[in-house]
A = this chain, B = another copy of it.
């Protein structure tokens, strides 16, 4: 299996939803020693730069046409693009990832997109609230009973999260990828969630 982690970015992607996962992948203890366990790669509709909501322009490593057949995980980063026509191009990518049993992450509007295409009907999951999933999913979303009101939910190889849950999303995927020990992954989570001054009140 390839060790690449593919981040799918659509125009107006939510930068905060990609940073904690990608940073941990690239800078944990293991990654600081060669060879790295995983490599982050950006996938976008074309090879043109893709702009975040905040206006940062990111250069893709792959387009939907040039992305590799194999990879370790497919991570759909939220943002405003998931309600546009361009998101339809991601449907076959997710179908292939599901057929291969690859790890899939979907956060915020990308989780709503998953609901819209019936991809959450066989797994426990979360997203930007049940109402949003039902609104986006319409008749294609038949698994309201599988909705869990939690920051992030892992069921088998699928991780979903709401848009405020970038740290919980990262933690769940890091655990699934066995990127580090559970203790070290939790330390990374706690440090960023609680903050340096809460964890170390004396200085």
- Min Cβ gap A198→B in Å is 8
**A59 contacts the other chain (CB 8 A):** yes
Q: Which chain B residue lies CB-closest to A80?
A: B27
When all copies of this chain in the complex are counted, the total is: 2
Residue pair A164, B196 in contact (C-beta under 8 Å) = yes
List A residues 182-203 near B (Cβ within 8 Å).
Answer: 191-192, 194-197, 200-203
* Beta-carbon contact of A203 and B128 below 8 Å: no
On chain A, the number of residues with a Cβ less than 8 Å from chain B's Cβ atoms is 49
Tell me what chain A mostly uses at the interface: helix, strand, loop, or mixed: mixed
Known: A150-B197, A164-B192, A196-B128. A58 touches B55 (CB 8 A): no
Which residues on the B side are within 8 Å of A25 (C-beta)? 54
Asked whether B58 lies within 8 Å of A57 as measured between CB atoms, the reply is yes
Chain B residues closer than 8 Å to A160, beta-carbon distance: none
Residues of A within 8 A of B (CB): 7, 14-16, 18-23, 25-27, 39-42, 49, 52-59, 128-131, 147, 149-151, 162-165, 168, 191-192, 194-197, 200-203
Between A and B, 20 residue pairs with Cβ closer than 8 Å are A7-B56, A15-B18, A15-B19, A16-B19, A16-B23, A19-B19, A22-B56, A23-B54, A26-B55, A40-B56, A42-B55, A56-B58, A59-B59, A129-B196, A129-B203, A131-B203, A151-B195, A151-B197, A162-B195, A165-B196
